[in-house]
């Protein structure tokens, strides 16, 4: 299931850091992404591959460079399925409380 791959990818601190870096500045190369991590290029590459397999990162060749872009859609789908349904009750309760207090 695609959600499992997304949850697995998000479970790792390094991969979350890479997603944060791409959120801050999209379209980075492996060299740019590895510059502020204390690990080998090969390790960062493995993390990026897992993010790509989960659909969270899209890599595009531009000449000799391979640029990595954040794809927020899988995270949004998880948000819509798993988070929205739990917050809806709280929002409804607050709306009802507001109505009660105003009347």
Per residue in 30-44, pLDDT tens? Answer: 999 999 899 999 999
Report DSSP letters for 2-64, one per residue. Answer: HHHHHHHHHTSHHHHHHHHHHHHSSSB-HHHHHTTSSS-HHHHHHHHHHHHHTTSEEEEEETT
Q: What is the pLDDT of residues 2-25, one digit of tens each?
A: 899 999 999 999 999 999 999 999
Look up the pTM and report it.
0.80
Residue holding tokens 């954040």? 70
Look at phi and psi of residue 56 and say left if phi exceeds 0, alpha if psi is from -120 to 50, else beta: alpha
């Amino acid at each position: 299931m695609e959600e499992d791959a997304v949850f697995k990818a998000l479970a790792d601190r390094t991969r979350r850091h890479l997603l944060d870096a791409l959120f801050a500045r999209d379209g980075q190369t492996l060299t740019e992404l590895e510059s502020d991590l204390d690990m080998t290029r090969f390790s960062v590459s493995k993390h990026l591959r897992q993010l790509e397999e989960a659909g969270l990162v899209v890599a595009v060749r531009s000449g000799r460079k391979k640029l990595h872009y954040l794809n927020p859609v899988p995270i949004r789908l998880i948000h819509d399925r798993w988070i929205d349904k739990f917050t809806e009750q709280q929002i409804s309760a607050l709306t009802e409380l507001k109505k009660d207090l105003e009347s």
